[in-house]
Amino acid sequence: MTETHDDQAINADGKKPLKMQEAVHVEVADDIPAELEALLHTEPLHGLTDAEVTERTAQFGLNEIPEHKTNPLLKFLSYFTGPISYLLEIACILSGVFKDWIDFGILLAVLIINACIGFFEEARAESALDALKNTLALKSRCWRNGKLVEVDSNTLVPGDIIALRLGDIIPADCRLLGVGVTGEITEGTLQIDQAALTGESLPVNKGKGATAYSSAIVKQGQMLAVVTKTGINTYIGRAANLISITTEEGHFQKIINSIGNFLVIITCVMALALFFVRVWAVPEKPNAPLGDRVRHSLLEVLVLTVAAIPVGLPTIMSVTMAVGASQLAKKQVIVKRLTAIEELASVSILCSDKTGTLTLNQLSFDVPYLSNRGNTTDNFEGTGVRYTEQDLLLTSFFASEPGAQDAIESAIRGAAQERVTVLKERVEQDHHIPGYKVNNFIPFNPTSKYTEATVTDLSTGKQFRCIKGAPQVIVRMVGGHDEATKAVNDFALRGLRALGVAITVDEAMTKFEMVGMISLLDPPRPDSAHTIEECNKLGISVKMITGDQQIIGKEVAHRLGMHRTILDASKLIDDSIDEEALIDRCVKCDGFAQVIPEHKYKVVELLQKRGYLVGMTGDGVNDAPALKKANVGIAVEGCTDAARSAADIVLLAAGLSTIVDGVKTSRAIFQRMRSYALYRIASTIHFLLFFFISICAFGFSLPPILIIMIAVLNDAATLVISVDNAQISQRPDKWRLGQLLTLSGILGVLLMIISFAHFFVAKDGFGLTTLPEKDNEGVENAGKLQTIMYLQISSCPHFVIFSTRLPGYFYENVPSWVFILAVAGTQVFAMFMSIYGVKVFEATAIGWGWGVSVLAISTVMFMLLDVVKVAIIRSWSFELTVKLYPTKSRKALLQERVAKRVVKERALANIAKCRKVLYMTMGLVAWRRTFENGGKRKLLVGNSSSTIVIN
């Protein structure tokens, strides 16, 4: 939004000077209901009476954010819920009933460990709300009963008259009255820093009738204000309410529950079927009493169920993420919620706050406009020699107030002290300038809108005046200057703050000459552009979400290498379009400006509805609701307590560069977890199918101790997957549950076929029996078959983890030596135990021939299964899933995707054609200009009047 200043006189040549455009702060609207408005007309120097305060406290409540505490015991017990936990609990109870204390102890320990990890790593209670509460002022000065008294801030009510002074934290939303603390009428303004609330990079000036928000800080001035809103109804209170209602289940927890539900269903179905088969259809002891058959079958089914349940799934996932959290901590990325590591790997859109995150949150001297020496209103060329940047900074330094805490003054003085040679050499750090003496200084005031200094050049004795202030005022003081006005308008269009600088050139010190225009901007961090580029390479789209003005957002986006499609936040509440179109708007744009906490929250919510996993970075109170809502909330260095508490990840290093390290580490962790999940599901399917068929058809099973050995050894070995080498994806990772379960099912079935091949070769080819006969030879044959199958079922599925650890062929990424030794070590142990036999584990010696052969075949088989895995992954697509599972909704979605793809390809083709025509036109124009200038081309440098001629 711009404001036009048309207070300049007509130039000497009769032409009207250019109009100057200046960026104006756009205040967030804050509607007040009529019934509340009626309570706000309190006498300023009298205030409310005690009776009125009591009545309004009963109506509006205390000025504080209500707390919602969760019972710690109930929170801890909640970690014993979920499909896998329920199955473990049932198995644990049955183990106790049958006095199988080893299984009972293992299962109980797993349950408690998983609950403790979840409780201590993820229990954040309402810490975000506590932090928001702590940002409120504790005491306030307030007019009550005709006296200015100090009261607790939580006792304020709408209609209270409060005094605001320099350094005060504003205790509630209030309306400025334009009245001094002691009752005098004032036309002045308050300078208020509300960056932590709205994301604006500069303090804003607010006068009579403007709203000052709770928790903002008064930087300059004093004034009375009437309280308009308190507690949860304030600007900051609305942010707290958004946090308190955000209690969605995490993405990772949904995935684990989906996997758990799948495994629990197939385990329960097969366990129940097997139970009925063993009791009635094919009982092991047909003549035994029904109670004995039921008890024996339950015990047999229990052992198989315990071995089939992915007991280690939650623990291995937690350990893998804990190791990753430790790795990230070394890179100054602190993980507060372990599952955020997995979710960060899947983030495809990163919404970033601008002020203090992408930028430095401090005004800096930018490229200025410099006038020519001797310039006048009618002759901008003057002597043809330009003032230098050092001239501009030194002149502005003369007219700057020493020790001022104002952000603009600090930026100019800092740039001058850093770049001007004479200021670098000085010893005293006040207004002393070597070779000059400041005789008089007039500070800024709202009426004149400039600062002024009278200076003596000690080398010549010449005196001159310097002025620095609002561009339109300085232009007027020099009698008009269209070129400087053009520069200011250009600055305004790019969101830069401008200040004019002029100096007197006559002995009477009455005639001013334009030195130049200073431009100021909160600059991007040095690493922000590179970080955005790296995120784009990793398939992450970065969107800027800022409370600053739209033009400032566009300029910063341009400097960061982003596109300039920064929309006004009002586009988020457009009633003329439906939600799908609104989501399309969010997806396609590069960010939003002039947002409030509700806007940031809505952007995240809309993107999540489209299925994107969204990351959100920020540092202020205004970011806290969106940080809590996002799949991964990231609080940056120097953030407020509210942002830190609402976030899942906290960055200790400045800027966003460490996010790239976090994403890469998270994707490595994701690959490890996915490889384990794929291996474990395939193993479970293989295990259940083989034993269900072998028991039902052949009455064959393994001794319970060998079944437990398979489960314990294999799960223990896979714990080291947390330190395995991982192949990092260049795109956001996704679980793709359909692909995961389908691939697991195919691998499980193939593993079952391989196991039955071993079974039939040993049984029919070598005459080993499935059931022990009465003689010793029959018992030994049955024991050999059991041990052979134990070794095969232990090794072949376990070696498959070398294949599942990456989507390509197993040899494309070498596992870590620790991982190889752990997996191979358990199978070598199982091989030697099988070769020589271990009586205590009911393992019969099978000799070197069988032992080495089984392990060698398992090694070859996992390589063959690796080829199947790669073929499935490479052929997998949404089109394929629609063919496999052709529901009406899925077919409609496929048609929609195909239509969008056709439109996109056509648009890209048209853009390519337009670009070709544009380049041809630009070439022709360039050559035409060359010939028009007699074979010479002009290269524009800096300002419009500065050119270099190239022959």
Report the pLDDT value the prediction gives residue 283, as an integer from 0 to 100.
61
**pTM (predicted TM-score):** 0.73
Which pLDDT score is estimated for 226? 94
Residue 278 CA to residue 608 CA, distance in Å, equals: 49
Question: What is the model's pLDDT at position 66?
Answer: 67
Supply 573's token pair: 């509440």
Angle at 188 between CA 183 and CA 193, to 5 degrees: 110
| pLDDT for the residue numbered 315 | 67
- In eight-state DSSP terms, residue 951 is -
Please check whether residue 116 is in contact with residue 26, taking contact to mean a CB–CB distance below 8 angstroms.
no
Q: What is the DSSP string of 359-405?
A: B-SS-EE-PPEEPBTT--SS-SSTTS-BPPHHHHHHHHHHTS-TT--
Strand partners, 504: 512
Confidence at residue 777, expressed as pLDDT on a 0 to 100 scale: 54
**Cα atoms in the 13 Å half-sphere on the side-chain side of 248:** 18
Residue 168: partners with Cβ closer than 8 Å, 6 or more residues away: 137, 217, 218
Please answer whether residues 588 and 349 qualify as being in contact, where contact means their C-beta atoms are separated by less than 8 angstroms.
no
The number of beta carbons lying within 10 Å of the beta carbon of residue 286 is: 8
Q: What is the token pair recorded at 527?
A: 């690493």
CB 457 within 8 A of CB 438: no
Q: What angle do CA 63, 66, 68 make, to 5 degrees?
A: 170
Buried b (16+ CB within 10 A) or exposed e, 264-273: bebbeebbee
Report d(CA 589, CA 582) in Å as an integer.
Answer: 11
Among candidate residues 26, 192, 897, 19, the one with its CA nearest the CA of residue 547: 26
Question: Is 471 in contact with 500 (CB distance < 8 Å)?
Answer: yes
At 59 the pLDDT is: 92
231 DSSP assignment = G
Whole-number Å distance between alpha carbons of 693 and 356: 63
Mean pLDDT in each 10-residue stretch from start to end of the chain (951 residues)?
42 59 58 86 91 93 73 74 74 76 74 69 44 59 91 92 88 90 81 74 81 85 91 79 59 72 80 79 66 75 72 69 79 80 88 84 88 86 89 92 76 89 73 84 81 92 93 91 90 85 92 93 88 92 87 88 87 82 90 85 90 87 83 84 79 82 86 85 88 83 81 73 82 85 92 94 80 54 87 91 88 88 89 89 89 93 93 87 82 85 88 88 80 52 40 40
Angle at CA of residue 900, ends 896 and 903, nearest 5°: 140
Contacts of residue 419, Cβ cutoff 8 Å, sequence gap at least 6: 365, 389, 390, 393
Query: 325 exposed, middle or buried (CB, 10 Å; 0-12, 13-18, 19+)?
Result: buried
Q: Which amino acid is at 406?
A: D
Q: What's phi and psi for 446, nearest 5 deg?
A: -60, -20
Please list, residue by residue across 414-443, b when 16 or more beta carbons sit within 10 angstroms of its beta carbon and e when fewer do.
ebbeeebeebeeeeeeebebeebebeebee
pLDDT of res. 607: 93
Tokens describing residue 501: 């600088």
Residue 625 C-beta-side C-alpha neighbours within 13 Å? 25
Neighbours of 572 (CB within 10 A): 18
pLDDT at res. 947 = 40
**CA proximity to 132, closest of 602, 620, 629:** 620
Q: Which amino acids are annotated catalytic?
A: 353
742-747 long-range CB contacts below 8 Å, 24 or more apart? 742/872, 742/884, 743/678, 743/682, 743/869, 743/872, 743/873, 744/678, 744/681, 744/682, 744/685, 745/682, 745/685, 746/868, 746/872, 747/678, 747/682, 747/685, 747/686, 747/800, 747/804, 747/865, 747/868, 747/869
Instruction: Map tokens 């947002």 to a residue.
Output: 595
Q: Report the C-alpha gap between 937 and 933 in whole angstroms.
A: 7
Question: Distance of CA 437 to CAs 444, 455, 607, Å?
Answer: 20, 6, 60
Instruction: Give the chain's length.
Output: 951
How many Å apart are CA 254 and CA 267, to the nearest integer? 20
User: What gap in Å lies between CA 269 and CA 699, rounded to an integer?
Assistant: 19
Beta partners for 147? 144
Give the closest residue to 684 by CA, choosing from 844, 798, 837. 798
What is the model's pLDDT at position 738?
83
| 142 touches 151 (CB < 8 A) | yes
